[in-house]
Amino acid sequence: MFNKNTRTLLYELKEKAISKGNNAGKIQFLYATGERSLGTKKLYALVQCTKDLLDNNCNVCLNWIMAKLTECCNGKQGGRVTDALNQTNAYLHHTCINSQGTYRPGSPYEENVNRAIKTMFKKLLDYGFIHSVVGDAPNTVYPKLQCRGDLSLSQCHSCLTTAFAGIRKRCPKNKGRIIWYENCVLEISSVYRWSQIDYQNNFFLYNAKDASGDKESFNKKTKALLYNLKEKASSKENDPYGKNYMYATMEESLGTMKLYGMVQCMKDLSVKNCSLCLDWIMAKFPKCCNGKQGGRVLCTSCNFRYELYPFVKPLVKT
């Protein structure tokens, strides 16, 4: 009954959001909120589309994500579904590296961390990668930030701000720490690791739903797409040292559907180490994503992702 009431409210809000009476150049354009009584309690909800969409496309998009209600939120007191292409700074994972020791608030190491982040803001270029070296031993700080290859400069700045705040909250005393977001990965270290593959810190995520049809064929096509992307990303002809360097996206038809893929390496890696890193995480494919509609493996040095829907902007050479 709770699920039924939730769906009813969301579909009523969808109709309101796409109504021409609600979209006459007002702030409520493609946006609606509402509430519904549930005995002694109330249920509150919101729907919204990006305002570049036509009314019909907003309707299609909301129908698509509302179909995921049972998958994401069955019987839960609250929930949300967001179009992956429009997600901003969604937190994925973090690692506090205990082997590098800790520091005290107000110590020289913390001062160097704060200086390093300020330096990175000033240096940040629209290539999605920045690093810094701040302070003298034993309090030297080595931070690195890699933004996803389709991000704008402002989005990269935003992710750096979010990542720095997130990493201080989750690992407040660790000298070594890494945090992953949808849009970027930030590493702060007391150890110099330039151009080295990080084999220690990695994790994977996958879509709970299985791909329809022949699972073996789907896996084969997915792996083929990812290896094609690896070759493209680690090619010297792939926009050397520009925005698209060490980054590649591609799509492939699967009958009536499309398969979308992306790979990326941290830009301090050599072309050879980028290829080695991607080979290493792609070897984890059977464990992480066997027959799943979507999946990804992320480490500090490289990552891959595939989905049955677009999740990055089309690659544009700069």
Q: What is the model's pLDDT at position 244?
A: 64
Is 81 inside a domain boundary? no
Give, in order, the Cα–Cα distances in Å from 85 to each of 155, 260, 311: 13, 12, 4
Give how far the C-alpha of residue 68 lies from the chain's centroid of Cα atoms, to the nearest Å.
19
**Are 206 and 269 part of one and the same domain?**
yes
Residue 206: CATH number of its domain: 3.30.430.20
**Are 95 and 119 part of one and the same domain?**
yes
Is 195 inside a domain boundary? no
DSSP characters over 67-124: TTHHHHHTT-S------GGG--S-EEEEEEEEEEEE--TTSHHHHHHHHHHHHHHHH-
**Are 208 and 282 part of one and the same domain?**
yes
Q: Considering 189, 219, 248, which residue would you say is the last residue of a domain?
A: 189
Q: What is the model's pLDDT at position 57?
A: 77
Give per-residue pLDDT as tens, 66-98: 887 887 888 888 988 766 555 557 889 999 999
Is 102 inside a domain boundary? yes
Beta carbons within 8 Å of 301's beta carbon, 6+ residues apart: 196, 197, 198, 265, 266, 269, 273, 277
40-66 mean pLDDT:
85
Q: What is the model's pLDDT at position 208?
A: 81
Mean pLDDT of the chain: 88
Confidence of residue 317 (pLDDT cuts 50, 70, 90): very low
Residue 22 has pLDDT above 90, yes or no: no
Q: What is the model's pLDDT at position 166?
A: 92
**Are 168 and 129 part of one and the same domain?**
yes
Is 84 inside a domain boundary? no
**Are 173 and 208 part of one and the same domain?**
no
**Are 227 and 153 part of one and the same domain?**
no
Is 316 inside a domain boundary? no
Is 275 inside a domain boundary? yes
**Are 180 and 207 part of one and the same domain?**
no
Is 163 inside a domain boundary? yes
Q: Considering 189, 210, 242, which residue would you say is the last residue of a domain?
A: 189
Number of domains in the chain: 3
The pTM score is 0.73
Give per-residue pLDDT as tens, 107-155: 999 999 999 988 888 776 656 898 999 999 999 999 999 999 888 888 8
Residue 201 has pLDDT above 90, yes or no: yes
Q: Residue 15 sits in which domain range?
A: 1-73
35-59 mean pLDDT:
86
Q: Considering 73, 104, 132, which residue would you say is the last residue of a domain?
A: 73
Exposure pattern of 104-142 as b/e (b: 16+ CB <10 Å)? eeeeebbebbeebbebbeeebeebbbbbbebbeeebbbb
266-287 mean pLDDT:
94
